[in-house]
A and B are shown apart, each in its own frame.
Chain A
Amino acid sequence: MSEHAAEPVLEPVRQSRLDQKTRYKLSATDKFISVVIYTLFSLFALICVYPFYSIIINTISANDISARGDVVFFPKHIHFQNYIDVFKIPGLGHAALVSLGRTVIGTSLTVGASAFLGFMFSQEDMWARKFWYRFTVITMFFSAGIIPWYLTMRSLHLTNNFLAYILPTVVAPFFIILVKTFVESTPKELQQAASIDGAGTMTIFFRIMLPICKPILATVAIFAAVDQWNSFQDTLLLVTDSNLYSLQFILYNYINQASSLSTMVNLQNAGSTAMSSLSTKQTTTSIRMTVTIIVVAPILLIYPIFQRFFVKGIMIGAVKG
């Protein structure tokens, strides 16, 4: 990987072209328009960021103040007791493991399958290739509906089963299209040369295509991981066993029943006398917000690092498709 891999959102070449395109002589109206544009975009950016910021400063502020909704711009009486307490809630650690497990296993399988199928659908000599490609892509546009889907999953004994998180996501048409488009943009001669040297389909895939496809596979991996981490509907429909609850599901439950949880945590801490000061005593709000931060943290952390990859990935797909 060269230095270019570290370039931000827009590539340097595009950047300069874009700047050339927007080089005008500014009239008074244009300047006025500029002011309006800057103001509106700043405002929208603020609306996008503020909720995250607000929750973070609330979780580290004194709980009695934040429960009144009085922490607005800056944290007040900073402490980290909330995070220590919330990790003591039974079931939360387990849910984190479930979420992590489905994200790691599910993402690996989805990326592997998308890479392989994207490559195979570019093989023009495959039997009935067009049919199978359509067979795959058309599923993006219809579904039987959630209840028939639920009944099917139940008849396959995939309710209360970890596999229900993984198996349905393995074949993902959208990702397959992304990889296929990418593979088709690479020179055909690479594959032909390898084939003349005696490489079989599998060798070509593993030794030649996989290394070339790394950028697009990184994009697919991020999308798939975010999908898995965020998934809520499948737990809601298919899981009643609390051992299989995901973090998202636990969070949803906490929003609806956080008051009983805060009582529980406060009772647990009642023994250790030092903890029960008003500013660190758990409230409905403090528990809910702290769990929210724990669920959103992985995304907030990986997002800035990977943003440039997936923006590029989507753009490649969009420009060609």
Chain B
Amino acid sequence: MLTYNKRSTSFRKFLYISPFMVLLFIFAYYPLYGWVYAFFDYTPPIPLSKSPFVGLQWFRSLVENQVKVDQLLQVIKNTFGMSGLTLLFSWLPMVFAIFLTEIKAVRFRKFIQTVTTLPNFISWVLVYSLAFSMFSSEGVINGMLRQLGLTDAPILFLQSSDHVWLTMWMWTTWKALGWSAILYIAAIMGIDDSLYEAAHVDGATRMQVIRHVVLPSMLPTYFVLLMLQIASFLNNGLEQYFVFQNAFNKDSIQVLDLYVYNLAMGGGSYSVSVAISMLKSLISVVLLFSVNGLSKMLRGESIV
């Protein structure tokens, strides 16, 4: 009787959460069914049931058609370039946190922390609007340069295709740096005080304390975040590049997510873009599990 009761309570607890699990299934798992579109010749008004099944034709077309291959290669290059830059500078938030906690003026430190986390909370549309106000031809920067007599004609910062990877990285950094540092600040506060005391007793200088006490304690956090970043290497997201794209920078700003969107929503090529989407998701999952395995092997801990 008692076990029966226990079992029924345990199942009733599941029943409470089941509606939420259904919602989760519909919005996170059911979309995977959309992958079937990659195997059909689908054009929007005609329903899928009346579209011809074409097997792997779209996947083959990705590697057979020279124009498409070139385009896709450029997109992959952009994706790797921009994710690569982010990865290359992934230590910045850690350094930011280390030096921020070195600041002794409490008010100043709090002020910096408050102000630098603010951009994280505005949308990419707003970031773009700020960028537009600053850097467009009638923007503040051009106004400033003109007032100082440095330029005659306005510089077209936003319409330029030069350095797009770098400027996109700079916007990402502007938006996220202060916020990403918070995790490291938390890690710094978790450091055992006795380590500092020992260092002081040994007569360590400030840089020595940072190098031998603070930095080693940060590395585990850094590696976990680095691995997560590698796992989402192909997912740069859509919004940032969508709002910043224009006719002039299109070639160097299209990352996989934006390319897939432009193909489907701009060109109506649903099936091809689903095929690319699908490959991207599969590669991402493989990346995630390899990184997870690597983490287990090297550090004895998994990240997922």
Contact = CB atoms under 8 A, between A and B. Distances in A.
B205 A24 contact: yes
Contact of B260 (A18, A44, A120, A147): A147
Interface string A225-265: 01001111100110000000000110110010000000000
A127 B189 CA distance: 38
A63 B12 CA distance: 64
- Chain B, interface residues (CB within 8 Å), range: 35 or more
A248 B13 contact: no
A146 B114 contact: no
B117 A51 contact: no
Interface in B258-285: 260-261, 264-265, 270, 273-274, 277-278, 280-281, 284-285
Interface stretch (A6-14, A81-89, A177-185, A266-274): A6-14
Contacts of B29: 139
Nearest to A40: B99
Contacts, number: 286
Interface string B102-137: 111010101111111111011111101111111000
A170 B21 CA distance: 11
Interface of B is mostly: helix
A26 B118 CA distance: 32
Nearest to A133: B17
B117 A10 contact: no
Interface of A: 8-10, 14-15, 17-24, 26-27, 29-30, 33-34, 37-38, 40-42, 44-45, 47-49, 51-52, 54-55, 58, 67-72, 113, 116-117, 120-121, 123, 125-128, 132, 135-136, 138-139, 141-152, 156, 167-168, 170-171, 201-202, 226, 229-233, 236-237, 248-249, 251-252, 255, 285, 288-289, 292, 295-296, 299-300, 303-304, 307, 311, 314-315, 318-319
Interface of B: 6, 9-14, 16-17, 20-21, 23-24, 26-35, 37, 99-104, 106, 108, 110-119, 121-126, 128-134, 138-144, 146-147, 174, 177-178, 182-183, 185-191, 193, 196, 200, 205-207, 209, 231, 238-239, 242-243, 257, 260-261, 264-265, 270, 273-274, 277-278, 280-281, 284-285, 288, 304
